[in-house]
Structure 1
Amino acid sequence: MAHLIDSAATDAAVNGFYQATTQLVDLVPGMYHRQSATGTRLVFTGLPMPSLNVVSVGTEPDLEEVDAFAKELSTKDVPWSIQLRGDADPALLELAARYGRTSSSTIPLLVWDADLLPSLPTSLPHGATVREVPGNEYEVYASALASGFDMPKEIADIFALPALLDAPDMTAFILELNGEAVATGFNVVAGDQVGLYNGSVPPPHRRNGYYRALVAARLRHAVASGARHAFTQNTPMSRPLYESLGFRHAETWTYLTGAA
């Protein structure tokens, strides 16, 4: 079983995650974020996913601040969650329950170090090419996202805004097979960290090595851009792929959400 990384490296990845989130939210009209003096964070995107409208609990939870941010999000007509590193204590669970956040799920945070760069695969599947997608081709990226995630096109359009695709520290990628986009990814460089987001492959193209090749290409691009470490949150389906490229489990995050 993969061993845990040290706390300093984990904290650096977590800080990179929060910085990347801030960079993204700052570029999209209608989204906003705030941070309290003790580290509690509020992120509002307006998107219909509880993990994208969150009250993030600091390492030393301030229940009054959590309560104030939870009250604010509860007035929004979107799914939302209370997110914390590790497990929730009884007091936080009680607070969450007052807002109907009675369901719980976990997501791992995986990290990677640039020392592993030489071990990444460099070849692509036969007929495949990887390229960056600029803002003036946002429709290409949005369509690929909608297909890969089976999400409504209007939501994919938000993730493909030209302001994001053309931002200096952000890069959208697609892997194409005979001119068809069959895998997507989005990098956000935050200091010496890079966050890997929006990884998708449409069902008919899965298990052909396309996404693995794209992740490797994205890591090489990030290191060339100055990143020394990478982080990602992913599903049980994609976790083995990342671990095969050298990613390690740093910690597990808990999301307290409304009942399904």
Structure 2
Amino acid sequence: MGGIQTPVVGIGTVELPVKRSPRATGPRSHGILRLRNVLHVPTSICNVIGSPILDEYDINTGSSMQNTQGTIMDKQGRTVAYFDPHGKFFQVRLSGPPVGPRVGPTPFDPSAMYWINVRWADSEREKWEASRAGQALRPAEVGPLSTEEKQWLKKHWGGEFKFLASHGLNINKDEDREEGRIILRAILAGSDGDDSDDSDICRDYPNDDRQEGQLADSSFDADELEFIKKHYGDSLTFMFSFGLKFYKTEDCEEAKSIVSSMMHPDNDDYASD
């Protein structure tokens, strides 16, 4: 990008709803591509996946592949996502609505040539790593699953493994299991103890997000929800598109601030943060 410094307004984890394979159909054709330590750069012409993805995934490209420009696989050799064969660049194939987000028109001019290269300055990266290290020293605040929570997961999801997988989390990682417990408790708190029998739906459709969607909706007023529905389809997709989590209070507040700035672009409050 020509040596231009661009402002970063946030760093976090992004969960992209993606298609696993061009040949797969039905609910199980969708998955989650989970990207950690993502820089939120609103002024960038496009989203860029950097080389740190190789810490958790393997990328294969080659002319011998059919209907794709390449695939992204996890460390167990399972295909997680693929590159759209019709893309100008190596573009991850997102799930379409209602599972994935509604995307706008491409920012690229088909008649133009592009060279895109971005770099995270070492000094800024070191600041972020130091901040993360400080957070890691704090004692864990999320206790283990209770018997009732295990029973709920078994009934509605078939167990913790399937619940975590549906949210792009790995049962073999302690931090992912902890985040899964946070998600679960947010869902249970938002359901007011409703234990209606929808377990068949959850097991058949691992991306079922009705309860998550209701929790996300609760962060916005009627006008904001109408705006979000018009431009993004639903509040959960809106939050996903900005790398925000419906079960974190600070993320919900940021999502509300973002939609407010979109609805009232002349308001300078958000831009000054």
Fold-level similarity (TM above 0.5): no
Higher RCO (CA < 8 A, seq sep 6+): 1
Structure number with larger C-alpha Rg: 2
